[in-house]
Amino acid sequence: MSKDTENTKLQGGSMTVVDGWAVGTGAMVGVTVFVVSGTISGMAGPAACLGFVIACLIVFFVALCYCEISSLYPGAGGAYLFPKKVFPGERGDAFSFLSGWCLWGGQGLAPAVVTVATVGYLSSLINLITGGDLVLPTAPVACILTLVYFFANWFGNSGGKIVQVASTGAVVAVLVIFIVWGGINMKADLLTPFAPNGVMPILAAAAMCILSFSGWSTIPNMAEEFKNPAKDVPKAALLSLATCGIIFALFCYVMNGLLPGAELAQSDSPPVAAMNTFTNIGALIIAIGGICACISTSNGLMMSGSRIPFAMGRAGDLPKSLASVNKHGAPAGALILTMLGQIALCLSGSAINTLVALSVCATIVSWVITTVCAIVVRLRGEKTPFRAPGYPITPIIAVAGLIFMFTQLETLAIIMTVIWVVIGIVVYFLFRKTGLKSHCNPHEA
């Protein structure tokens, strides 16, 4: 084995289905469900819970296609890797770069907004305990938290896995407690009429809910680090998606049975407001759950998001320095870049609020490219360890659903995605069509 190969080899063969479930579920049970559920309740009333169901079903079809091609090409990088393997030559390189660039923007950098939200939950928790009105400085604390996630993953995936399994388990437990405890105290009259504003608001709510189900695709990005990626990656991805689909829908339904949708939409912390209708310790429980959710999301996306620039650097589409691996088996260069990018966004102030929408749009672009790759693999008759059932209906529903979701998002999010894509295209051509690539990667010259 060459020295270059050794220095770009991740710590492999240690992750299990449970570890993958924790990464995927942790990336989904973040702050979005604590906020999005209130917003969509104001749009669709109790029927807002169907928004989570519809979004989950569409994403489930995407996941089936994604897992099929991931089982054939189980390397680090996930969606970035697939077009390069499926399409020959320049076309495959271009689509791979675009897919990886969008996925990194959506799941590697934009999640800094979750870290910023963590600061608010920390302030709430401290004030609930002390009875004070402390407001922690957002940017400095968010940067410190980003560094904590960075160092947790610097020592290989074992450090990140411990944080991930613990935080994910804690937040799932809190959500289940809310569902059970709140379910017992629901008011039946608040659940009628079930869909006060008709069908269209439910569909609009589903488009917003896509944000809550983007985290599962982080699992294939780490396929190289599973014991049996062909079997474990599909199991972990689908299990995490099913877990969150059920919990999110029930969570939203129970909230609407405790407080009217209009009031939930106006609250900065909808679950806290809902719990406070029958117990004052509900605020404390949700504050703890919110912190665990934010930690779980931020750490999970720091862990998996860094694998995208790692794979792009290893393939020569970005500087080879991004493919460096430290003595602990962690992608050092890619982790540093992802950490610096997230810190920059944490320091950007109000602009970070728009990153949530960018995350959704950019991720959808990457998913569409991956689903098309899965279709091409089937048309070629290639045998994959995991085969998505229902072909060709499954990929058709996946692509159609994603396009619909994209059109339902706000114009600003679409414009930002176009800008991010254009930046990626410029980087691609500068790196490949000028002397920049040979300068950064002299061994390939």
Tally the domains of the chain: 1
Please, are residues 205 and 40 in contact by the beta-carbon 8 Å criterion? Answer: yes
- Asked if residue 445 belongs to a domain, the reply is no
- Asked if residue 275 belongs to a domain, the reply is yes
Q: Closest Cα to residue 425, out of 193, 134, 12, 99?
A: 99
Please name the residue that has the structure tokens 């939950």.
Answer: 121
- Report residue 425: phi and psi, to 5°: -65, -40
Kindly report the pTM of this predicted structure.
0.77
3-state DSSP call for residue 15? Answer: strand
Q: Closest Cα to residue 361, out of 395, 299, 307, 407?
A: 407
- Asked if residue 80 belongs to a domain, the reply is yes
Which CATH number fits the domain that encloses residue 423?
A: 1.20.1740.10
> Which structure tokens are listed for 258?
């405790």
- Report residue 11: phi and psi, to 5°: -65, 110
Please, are residues 323 and 331 in contact by the beta-carbon 8 Å criterion? Answer: yes
CA distance 97 to 238: 26
- Asked if residue 444 belongs to a domain, the reply is no
| Domain extent for 389 | 3-439
- Asked if residue 13 belongs to a domain, the reply is yes
Convert the pLDDT of each residue in 179-226 to its tens digit.
999 999 999 999 999 999 998 889 888 888 887 787 787 777 677 677
CA distance 336 to 146: 11
Please name the residue that has the structure tokens 């009628």.
Answer: 192
Convert the pLDDT of each residue in 279-296 to its tens digit.
878 778 877 887 877 777
Maximum distance among all alpha carbons in the chain?
Answer: 71
Q: Closest Cα to residue 29, out of 254, 302, 214?
A: 214
Please name the residue that has the structure tokens 């794979």.
Answer: 311
Low-confidence ranges of the chain (pLDDT < 70): 1-13, 30-32, 35, 75-78, 110-111, 156-165, 167, 221, 224, 268, 349-357, 435-445
What is the reported pLDDT for 272? 77
Contacts of 386 (CB under 8 A, 6+ apart): 67, 68, 70, 71, 230, 231, 234
Contacts of 211 (CB under 8 A, 6+ apart): 32, 36, 356, 359, 360
Query: Rg of the Cα trace of the chain?
Result: 21
State in Å, rounded, how far the first CA of the chain is from the last one: 21
- Asked if residue 176 belongs to a domain, the reply is yes
CA distance 16 to 187: 42
Please, are residues 301 and 27 in contact by the beta-carbon 8 Å criterion? Answer: yes
